[in-house]
Amino acid sequence: MRGTTRNGLRGGLIVITVAALAAAVTGAGAGGAAGDPGGAQGPDTSHVAAPHHGKGSVDNRPGATAPTAGQRDALTRNGARVAWNRFGTPERLAPAAGATSLASGLGDDAEAVARSYLDDNRESLGLTADAVSSLQTVAVNRLGPGAAVLLRQQFGDLPAGYDGQVAIGVVHGAVVSLTSTLARDVSTPAPATLSPADAVRAALRDAGVSQDADLSAEGAHAGWQRFSAAGTDGVQSVQPVAVPMPDGGARSAYMVAVSDESAANPVNNTTYVDARTGDVLVREDNVDEENDDPTWKAFPENPPADYSSTDTRELWCWTATTGCDRVVANPSSPLPWDIDPSVSSTDSTHTTRGNNEYAAQAWDNSRGTGFNMTGFATPSPTRDYTYAWTNQWHDTSCSPSAFDSPQHNDIDAADTNLHAMHNRMHDFAYKLGFTESAWNMQVDNFGKGGLANDPEQGNSQSGARVTTSLIRDNANQSTGPDGTKPTTNMYLWQPVAGSFYSPCVDGDYDMSVIGHEYTHAISNRMVAGPNSGLQGPQAGAMGESWSDLNATEYLIENGLVPQGQDPFVTGQYVTGNATVGIRDYAISRNPLNYSDVGFDLTGPEVHADGEIWNGINYAVRQALVGRYGAGSAGQNASCAAGETPVDQCPGGRRWIQLVYDSFLLMAQGRVSFVDARDAMLAADQVRFGGADVDLLWKAFARTGLGAEAASNTNADSDPTPSFDDPVGPDARIRFQPVRDAIGAPVQVFVGHYQARSVPVADTDPATALPDTATMALGTYDLVVRGAGFGLTRQTITISDTKPRTIPLILNRNLASAANGATAAGDGVNQAKLIDDDEATDWAVLGAQAAPVAGTGVTVDLAGGVQQVRRVEVSALLRPQDAQDPGGDTGSQNRFTALRQFRVLACTATATVTCTQPADFHVAYTSPADAFPATLPRPVAPTLTLRSFDIPPTTATHLRLEVVSSQCTGNPEYAGQQSADPAVPTDCASAAPISGQVRAAEFEAFAH
């Protein structure tokens, strides 16, 4: 789960997190896989793990170079679809509509084909012959019959360390895709005047780790010069590179891998330091916020879903032996999982340490301790890693006494489970292309390419005993460049007031979370080559999604989903929620589309927006399943083991193979959904000859990534959606308001959200957006919004290509300010409750434990006496905005959302002013769960606008009055739910936000 750039613990490390509590304390929103578990406040800053507080990723390079007229003309002549990068060269080239390649007939050798294409198209690329001939080969990775060719520029004697790359998809002598960060100017930069040690100190200062660190040289490895820095944990590695500048030329620079790992606040950056000035040119934040035959006891997916202490672990063995449930030896791991070649290539370590992964207890892991090389599982002379599991953390209700018990909170079992799961993910991913040449993670690469000495380092029960903060409800992955050791932290989970309500469980046993975190390392290593990773909000969102999707596919293909559990729910064990887990939606029940970027309660955020990519990819996956079948258990297992060629596998395997192939076809990490869509289409051309381009386009079109979808940058929170299928049937649709809204300007949104979503059509002639849209055949949910008409939902089905007009049925909103209604009452922003806009909020900002019941807003209805039969109310939160003129600068904590309300009515007369409580009578009381949030925290789908029929009520004034917020009225968040005396869980009494409540909309209708 990656953060907002290469990413912080708001999503994940590279580190990304699965469920970061910490936002609860810091006011920064929650991070990790959970996205924003509780919002920004929590019970006590000493109790909750802080989210990632690294400085994030930054690119300080100025300017941009525009493509020349000659380049544009050359590409116009060949008809390729092009997007330009900051260097004035093509960022992305895709075949013209209807074409299958950019060029063909170029030969049999993939690298030669790629180089020939570049040489033939120097004019459109803006490169000289010397610039093309000097390109270095980084990797040629086979993709079925084709290949992804990654080449890197050279500036004098220095290779490009950041940007300066091109990835070319080649199959059967044809080039089908190109992505690049190539620079036109490859002249030799001025030489370095600073030393490598100077660069390390500059990078450490920039990271906030040390102002003037004492360094000790640790020798060199694979081109890296290594140092240890006083006061830090981890090796600081540096090598000379060139960094191309968008405004021309390149700078001599040092690429510095900075590492100072901790559970609460890990630092893992790749920093590019100007070798003459010491300035930081670029910083990538890599933290994403999940006998002789050895045997392992492991939960295939997770312990029992009812949290009983029944031990359902399987016995996994390297080779078949008596009592073995699953043989795990396979060619992806040439050595048994407990052999570490840095110690011995033949002898076991007799613990949870091997070529692919080190797993060790990290109870005291706080800033400065990092990976605990002494905390491996208790050694087993017979290689039987079958330690007892007693479910101690759950059965003691999160009692700290578990650590001092003889069982030590089942830590040996946790180490073993994490070790086995990481190895399984290594082997699964290897068969899909995450191999040594694609920069995977191993002690020894056996001469197969890539850099070695970088096994995954797994911290189990990380930070469990840290006394300065409560490090819980989270998981993260930190992954630096190839050859540097990545780290994952798996945490304990427990309920915390007003922040996150999970059961008392150990994340080391939830494979959906473990697999999620491991996949952050996969996507960050494979996209953009060995030294860069995913950067920016849309890339970070896809990183979160790929982590969900890959872990899910691993479980499905291996037949490891326990009976009764939904394979498409991430984190159901650690959250106690079997319906959506740690997300807003299950992957398979997801209505989101590309117009919904920023839909969630916190606005644009990588975990929430990653769910959009989940929905898009599920549509693609199921389209392939529809064509190739879901497969039997035996077929899927054979495909997962690499025993059956992928072109003979069911649809799910074909889809996940396209995902992995697409990684290698993207030459930079600053990718948008549109870039990744094109990479998947190119992957289908390379591996399968374009066999499924029709299905892919149809699935993309139906989820908003059709032919005209566009994003200005990968940080674009308002990208342009498109529902146009360029290869399949579609229809031109015109939208027309009817009933009360005839001729009125209204907006049409595809999906379930209006707030922060982008409309597909607009009937206002004053705007550039037309009242028409081209849409692929299918069924669509719509939200229609108009000033004076509130929001309404309707569903349309487009069954043929005939142009048609869709009537939009809207009624007059009697409680709309646009119709003359006014609002007054408690709190701030009362008028925003009646502005026909779900993106704005009314709020009461009381102190902790102040009563919210009875607070409310009185609306003077438009047009005098009215009869009201229906109200619509929304509890959706808006992103925090300190500049809000209404004064709501409080944290947008999920638990402050409205839960239950009532509607009071008053009819003004000569003697009744409708200003006193006695003037009103109760017209309607909502159900106690009007907005039915559940564990582990409220989510957007249950807080959006809902319609409530009320008894026919005649009134001039209506009052929306709070009965309870989610914090004060939801029994799921009440009472003391653990045996940890230091951690309160009752939201109403212990959460700082308990005196706050918010609502987004109040609308009233006569019919």
Under 8 Å CB-to-CB from 923, ≥6 apart: which residues?
A: 868, 903, 904, 905, 950, 951, 953, 955, 958
Taking 3-state DSSP, the helix, strand and coil percentages for the chain, each rounded to the nearest 5, stand at 25, 25, 50
**Residues 26, 51 contacting (CB under 8 angstroms):** yes
Query: pLDDT digits over 287-312, tens only?
Result: 876 456 899 999 999 999 999 999 99
What are the φ/ψ torsions at residue 688 (nearest 5 degrees)?
A: -115, 10
Cα separation, 340 vs 357, whole angstroms: 9
Cα separation, 468 vs 227, whole angstroms: 29
Cα separation, 266 vs 268, whole angstroms: 6
The encoded tokens of residue 189 equal 């930069």
Question: Helix, strand, or coil here: 476?
Answer: strand
The encoded tokens of residue 871 equal 């109200």
In the prediction, which pLDDT does 449 show? 95
315 forms beta bridges with: 297
pTM: 0.90
Cα separation, 377 vs 248, whole angstroms: 54
The encoded tokens of residue 274 equal 């100007």
Under 8 Å CB-to-CB from 785, ≥6 apart: which residues?
A: 746, 747, 749, 754, 791, 836, 837
Question: Helix, strand, or coil here: 174?
Answer: strand
402-434 residues labelled b (16+ CB within 10 A) or e (exposed): bbeeebbbbbbbbbbbbbbbbbbbbbbbbbbbb
Length of the chain: 1007
In the prediction, which pLDDT does 260 show? 83
Cα separation, 823 vs 832, whole angstroms: 9
CA distances from 737 to 485, 490, 814 (A): 59, 52, 18
**Residues 668, 714 contacting (CB under 8 angstroms):** no
Based on its alpha-carbon atoms, the radius of gyration of the chain, rounded to whole angstroms, reads 29
Cα separation, 818 vs 652, whole angstroms: 50
Cα separation, 989 vs 973, whole angstroms: 11
DSSP tag of 319: S
| Burial zone of 854 (CB within 10 Å; 0-12 exposed, 13-18 middle, 19+ buried) | exposed
**Ranges of the chain with pLDDT below 50:** 1-52, 263, 290, 367-369, 882-883
In the prediction, which pLDDT does 246 show? 95
- Cis preceding linkage at 200, omega within 30: no
- Of 211, 260, 255, nearest to 232 (Cα)? 260
Cα separation, 798 vs 750, whole angstroms: 13
In the prediction, which pLDDT does 44 show? 35
The encoded tokens of residue 22 equal 């910490």
Cα separation, 294 vs 316, whole angstroms: 8
Q: To which residue do tokens 């994490």 refer?
A: 418
CA distances from 689 to 656, 684, 685, 862 (A): 17, 6, 4, 62
Query: pLDDT digits over 322-363, tens only?
Result: 899 999 999 999 999 999 999 998 999 999 999 999 999 999
**Which element (helix H / strand E) includes 772?**
strand 772-776
Cα separation, 751 vs 867, whole angstroms: 31
In the prediction, which pLDDT does 886 show? 58
DSSP codes joined into one string, 658-720: HHHHHHHT---S---HHHHHHHHHHHHHHHHTTTTHHHHHHHHHHTTBSTT-B-SSTT-SSPB
- For 950, half-sphere exposure in the C-beta direction (CA atoms, 13 angstrom radius) is 29
Characterize the bridge pairing of strands 921-925 and 357-361.
Answer: unpaired
Catalytic site residue from 517, 611, 838, 1001: 517
In the prediction, which pLDDT does 293 show? 83
Looking at residue 19, its amino acid is: A
The strand ranges marked E within 121-279 are 136-143, 146-152, 154-155, 158-159, 165-171, 174-180, 215-221, 224-229, 235-244, 250-260, 267-274
Q: Is 314 a catalytic residue?
A: no
Looking at residue 750, its amino acid is: V
